[in-house]
Amino acid sequence: MIAILGAGSMGRLWAAALPAGQVAFVPRPAQPGGQLSYRFRPFHGPEYPVRIPWLMPSHRPSLLLVATKAGDSLPALANTLPVLPADTPIVLLQNGLGSQQQVAERWPDRPVLAATTTEGANRPEADLTVHAGQGETRVGALNAAAQNHVTEVVRALAASGLTVHAEPDILGPLWQKLVINAGINAFTAILNCPNGQILEQAFYQQWIDPLCREISRLLRAAGQQEQTPAALRRQIEAVAQKTATNTSSMRADVLAGRSTEIDFINGYLVRLGRQLGIETPVNQMLTERVQQLN
């Protein structure tokens, strides 16, 4: 059985896609048993009802998939891990960077893996989860304890029918996703528009080039694959065009009055810049503008 911590859009997508009877949601502390029911609209095919049980004390999951917001992962895991065997693989499926390293440092003896996905999911209604875009998920070890678990984790998640790959160096794909999120999400939240519409906005056009220059310098200093600002902009805009009608998770959080993951996306780049002695005024501005929306 796979246990899923976090019943937001992404958690519900994986729960619906995995084989029935082989998945359960981790309940909040003191939450009564039972099940979580919602409607699921797959990328292809008709909508159908989903009923996922809450994890019971008698369950012994083979894998814990963490689909909480980045800032919620540490406290959520602190409540959950004491009742799980020490060798249960933990797969972190968060946006941005920083939260994954925090978890690996907090529990160095547990097998901690990270995943990054281009699957898209949203919840246009409280009881409806939509698989809004097909993509792929990459999974890799974050610490030595997880190295021998990658193959089994990929096999377990691939039972969902979603495309899942093992990644020998997961930091590379995590950085790639971070670059895209840093160049799209904050703009969609500030401008309150779908992904594709940011490209037409003067605010985006004013700041995207200096933003890409900051990210390019950070990539080089952090030992990641060097990319020119122009190449970064092309990648960001290609994704924005491909997902033109999508609402980013950050915009959705702002509209719903939830906290965003800005501190682990542009905010992470600001903190990294301080550590490396690189100024990041555009990332700082975007972070502060989104924080003011909450």
Catalytic residues: 177
For the chain, state the CA radius of gyration. 19
8-state DSSP, 119? -
The rounded Cα 194 to chain-centroid distance in angstroms is 18
CA-wise closest residue to 179 among 208, 137, 153 = 208
SS3 content of the chain, % helix, strand, coil (to 5): 50, 20, 35
The rounded Cα 187 to chain-centroid distance in angstroms is 18
- Angle in degrees, CA 237, 251, 203, rounded to 5: 50
Q: Is 83 exposed, middle or buried (0-12, 13-18, 19+ CB in 10 A)?
A: exposed
φ/ψ of 64, rounded to 5, equals -115, 115
8-state DSSP, 54? B
CA–CA separation, 93 and 162 (whole Å) = 14
Burial per residue of 93-110, b for 16 or more beta-carbon CB atoms within 10 angstroms, e otherwise: bbbbbbbbbbbbeebeeb
Paired tokens of 263: 């501190």
**Are the C-beta atoms of 243 and 195 separated by less than 8 Å?**
yes
